[in-house]
Structure 1
Amino acid sequence: MSEFYDEVDEEVRREQLKKLWDQYSLYIIALALLIIAGVGGWRAYQYVEGQKAAEAGATFNKALELSDQNKHAEAEAAFADLAGKAPSGYRMLARFHQAAEVAMRDKEAGAKLFDQLAADRSIGGPQQELARLRAAGLLVDTAPYSAIKQRLEGDTAPGATFRHSARELLALSAWRANDAAAARQWLDMIALDGETPPGLRSRAEALQALLPPVAKS
């Protein structure tokens, strides 16, 4: 008897499934096709993006080779082209290198390109800090100390990625401006930071020795 009921239940389930299929089969098929199309489209997108990245990488390496060969005008043009059309990662790198190439012929123009990077939040905080540092490094010999301080003071705080280099540039700028008190402030920060790199610490000690006696620690 139990077998009979099992057979009846099975038949009922088959009938229910058939009704469901008859009612919703078009929707099920359409959903399956959408899933297949979505997966196919995603794989196609990944392939295209991979191809773009590979092409950008090859072009980027060629631009680096041009720079190494002192063909700076050609390298600058290649990096500028990449900066306009490469995928985001290579685009950011190309912009940094483009700015460096421009700076070789015109420091102020190079600094402006680094300033544009420093203002671009899409590239990330550490990269913005690096761009500010590069711009300040180009201008440290010509810009007043107040301008360099305005650029870099926020990057000297404990934990800032490039705080050591920012402090060094500020100390050098203050020294060039004959502001011994300000130079000592930054040199003291360098000396008291246990994470200051040895080479930078040595340079700071050498600069400290050039300060007038009243400004020495």
Structure 2
Amino acid sequence: MALTPQNNEAFLREVDDELRRDQLMTFWERYGRWTIAAVVVALAAFAGFLYWQHRRAEAAGVQGEQLQVAYDALGNTQPDAAAKTLAPIASEGRDGYKALALMTQADILLSKKQDKAAAAKFAAIAGDASIAQPFRDLALIRQTVAEYDTLKPQVVIERLRSLAVPGNAYFGSAGELVAIAYLDSGRKDLAGPLFGQLAQSETVPDSIRQRAVQMAGTMGVDAAAASVRVVSPASVSAASSKEAPAQ
């Protein structure tokens, strides 16, 4: 008996389904174990990644606590105890903590008047490409401070010129060093305007701004901003005498 179109379509669909089942069984027989193994390996790798992240987070917490212990020791004038705590972080710590530990080690050397050793450690930080750039820039400034008396003014200028610009995070510290180096090299024409920029910058620490106002004033640069104006007794007396007639 001939099949109707509907029966023929149903028959073909059954054959197609049966063929797919056979193909699936053949694939499973050939590759089933390998598939299970691959899934297990993938799950194990994912679990290992999660565990690694967890361990890193735990290690970061421990290193943060160790840094605080070191800073507490420094606050209690115990630099040797602080240095001992910082040593493992400086050698094996995570990037940020490692940089902080290295910087603090160098600062401890500075506090002990070991300027040459401190400068060498700061230089190592500044030249380490694995350390974030803000730390490297700060280390370069600290290195320059540690060895300033042994450097020619032009070396200081060339070293810090790129940082001694308004808008840079370290404009205050780098700018002041460069301005002093200009003075030491006899370039008051460059030192005065730079001190003026420092005095007028709202991002520069007040202590540096006040020094800059005074230095700029000695070179004839009127750079006193209202928020950082340095008022001397003489200026107060002069102001009072000017206001007297109006009263």
Q: TM-score, with normalisation over the residues of structure 1?
A: 0.83
- For 1:68-87, list aligned pairs within 5 A: 68-87=75-94
| Equivalent position of 1:152 in the other structure | 160
Aligned-partner residue type, residue 90 of structure 1: Y
Q: Pick the aligned partner of 2:170 from 148, 152, 162.
A: 162
SS at 1:123 equivalent: coil
Using the alignment, how far apart are the partners of 1:146 and 1:110 within structure 2?
22
- For 1:107-122, list aligned pairs within 5 A: 107-122=115-130
1:210 matches 2:218:
yes
1:63 matches 2:63:
no
- Alpha-carbon displacement from aligned partner over 1:29-66 (angstroms, at most 9, x marks no partner): 22112212211221232233223222212211111111
Using the alignment, how far apart are the partners of 1:11 and 1:109 within structure 2?
80
1:136 matches 2:144:
yes
1:171 matches 2:179:
yes
- Alpha-carbon displacement from aligned partner over 1:54-86 (angstroms, at most 9, x marks no partner): 221221111111111110121123223320122
- 8 Å CA contact retained: 1:140, 1:173: no
Using the alignment, how far apart are the partners of 1:178 and 1:107 within structure 2?
26
Shift in Å, 1:21: 1.0
Using the alignment, how far apart are the partners of 2:27 and 2:150 within structure 1?
80
- Alpha-carbon displacement from aligned partner over 1:147-172 (angstroms, at most 9, x marks no partner): 32232123224553322321112223
- For 1:9-24, list aligned pairs within 5 A: 9-24=16-31
- 8 Å CA contact retained: 2:122, 2:142: yes
Using the alignment, how far apart are the partners of 1:91 and 1:194 within structure 2?
32
SS at 1:70 equivalent: coil
- 8 Å CA contact retained: 2:156, 2:181: yes
Query: What is the aligned residue count?
Result: 213
Using the alignment, how far apart are the partners of 1:64 and 1:44 within structure 2?
30
Q: 1:182 to 1:82 in 2, by over 3 A?
A: same
1:38 matches 2:49:
no
Q: 1:22 to 1:35 in 2, by over 3 A?
A: same
Structure 2 stretches of 5 or more lacking a match?
Answer: 1-6, 223-247
Using the alignment, how far apart are the partners of 2:137 and 2:10 within structure 1?
78
SS at 1:44 equivalent: helix
RMSD over aligned Cα atoms: 2.6
Structure 1 stretches of 5 or more lacking a match?
Answer: none
Shift in Å, 1:4: 4.7
Using the alignment, how far apart are the partners of 2:133 and 2:97 within structure 1?
17
Q: 1:116 to 1:184 in 2, by over 3 A?
A: same
- 8 Å CA contact retained: 2:175, 2:194: yes
Question: Which aligned segments of 4 or more residues in structure 1 are displaced greater than 6 angstroms?
Answer: none
Compare the two structures and name the one with the higher helix fraction: 1
Bigger mean CA offset, 149-158 vs 88-97: 149-158
Using the alignment, how far apart are the partners of 1:72 and 1:168 within structure 2?
29
Q: TM-score, with normalisation over the residues of structure 2?
A: 0.74
- 8 Å CA contact retained: 2:192, 2:215: no
